[in-house]
Structure 1
């Protein structure tokens, strides 16, 4: 599954990494205060728990279905709130963040199934012309898998997709896993490998709904990919952009120099994040007709 230089991790090592990643989300990220302009409401979509994120004193125009990050094994709409809230603010949309099931308790395809069930429910209440889908990190991967699954199911597709630092190839074949390992301050290659093994279970990593890089991408909506140049997943974004372009999908790739994984979560406090978010907001508003 992985390149020859990577040895598969044993069950104990996978468990240790998963526990550390979950602790980071629950003990560190969850401790961050919710910005005062953010309004949260628990809801559900097709039986899947979700969190509605809106910005106070604004009237949302359109809806963004959001899939949070956490390497498939950690995170929730609340403790991975920052990217979703930032996108709600810059896009002017209502964000619906899906609380999909996590591995290893629920390996693939549970998360994709939950995302698709939530998407079907959103289509029942939101005109497709007012709908975007988006996500960061593993949520970016699931966003792309959702689009492929929805297309194959004959469902209407949203007007736009935005993905921050997606993992598009879970075989970890990108050269940046080696060339960027020393400069990536956020993502450990071993931790990511452990998460991928937990998510995959017995599933082949080259299956289209696991690694979107290997999917037929024809017919997908206009897609914006953002990443930083200092992340091991850099090649997962650049290779994905090339595959989307080859499939005649309107794709924009924005690589911000010196930035790390999902730097957009830092929002206005970081100029590069603020500019990336403004670009993402413009992209969504343009394709939703705003």
Structure 2
């Protein structure tokens, strides 16, 4: 049974959807970006966390960590790939989620501001990310690093792993994917069956973002749709997704691909939860519990 907090959040999403319709298709992109960042800036940053601006390989971002960081985490780092369709979102919009993840895992989180489409289509975001990771490897052992990503950020994350693997660059120790968008051909069954259940994301919104991002690449290319890539030797992976999401079948099929490649994988399907619900982990019990499960997986693999 849903908590009252979760039900209240769903009711608000229904009202917002009815009021705004396909906001992402009708509102100018610059307005969407500004409104999201302005809203994120209004959220009071928790007193137990530190947020510092940081630039790595000429890519800006924010490093978030606990003030009382566990000793074990001082040489560890999570590189979090923010969502937002790869055409919006930033370290600012994902500061809260990054803080929640850092609090639960104990590990510092760096959220990088990769180049956004359509001004910078593929491969700009991938190039930025590879530069950041290679620079971080001068300070951190790959055994001490985690890749994490939400939504389209999870797509960029997996594309980055495919690229690094092809270039024979050491991969991070472990990975988590939250509500991952991995098949930009949109062939998953739940793209149809969850259309009414998903109150946060629409197929039209997803398709619009992919067209902004992919440049000259076909959507079936693994660097655009990582579901179709060779996932052999991927790091141990934790996948968390809501049962009401359009992207549910992206998560379940990616788990199957990883299993077939003998990659350690854990799939956590959260009943009645919505797209990137974990960002409400400070208010909604189900989201807090989900973050605890994520942290348990990550910390177990990072021992």
TM-score (norm 2): 0.87
SS of 1:268's equivalent? coil
Distance 1:20 1:205, change over 3 A: farther
Of residues 259, 277, 286, the one that matches 2:300 is 286
> For residues 219 and 29 of structure 2, what CA distance do their matches in structure 1 show?
19
Cα deviation, 1:95-126, whole Å, max 9, x if unaligned, reads 11111010000111111111111111111100
Distance 1:24 1:243, change over 3 A: farther
Q: Quote the residue 1:54 is aligned against.
A: 65
Runs of 4+ with >6 A deviation: none
TM-score (norm 1): 0.91
Q: What is the Cα deviation at residue 28 of structure 1?
A: 2.7
Of residues 265, 269, 274, the one that matches 2:288 is 274
> For residues 241 and 93 of structure 1, what CA distance do their matches in structure 2 show?
25
Find out whether 1:29 has 2:40 as its counterpart: yes
> For residues 35 and 99 of structure 1, what CA distance do their matches in structure 2 show?
22
CA contact (8 A) 1:30 1:80 kept: no
> For residues 49 and 20 of structure 1, what CA distance do their matches in structure 2 show?
21
Cα deviation, 1:222-250, whole Å, max 9, x if unaligned, reads 00000001111111111111111111111
Cα deviation, 1:177-234, whole Å, max 9, x if unaligned, reads 1111111111122111111111113220111111110101001100000000111111
Distance 1:47 1:20, change over 3 A: closer
Q: Quote the residue 2:84 is aligned against.
A: 70
> For residues 132 and 61 of structure 2, what CA distance do their matches in structure 1 show?
9
CA contact (8 A) 1:88 1:95 kept: yes
CA contact (8 A) 1:162 1:224 kept: yes
CA contact (8 A) 1:17 1:191 kept: no
- RMSD, aligned CA: 1.6
CA contact (8 A) 1:53 1:88 kept: yes
Q: Quote the residue 2:157 is aligned against.
A: 143
Find out whether 1:265 has 2:287 as its counterpart: no
Q: What is the Cα deviation at residue 16 of structure 1?
A: 4.0
Of residues 221, 224, 227, the one that matches 1:213 is 227
> For residues 177 and 27 of structure 1, what CA distance do their matches in structure 2 show?
31
> For residues 45 and 207 of structure 2, what CA distance do their matches in structure 1 show?
31
Of residues 163, 177, 183, the one that matches 1:163 is 177
Q: Report the count of equivalent residues.
A: 277
> For residues 285 and 91 of structure 1, what CA distance do their matches in structure 2 show?
7
Of residues 87, 109, 129, the one that matches 2:123 is 109
Which ranges in structure 2 are unaligned for 5 or more consecutive residues?
A: 1-23
Q: What is the Cα deviation at residue 20 of structure 1?
A: 5.8
> For residues 81 and 210 of structure 2, what CA distance do their matches in structure 1 show?
17
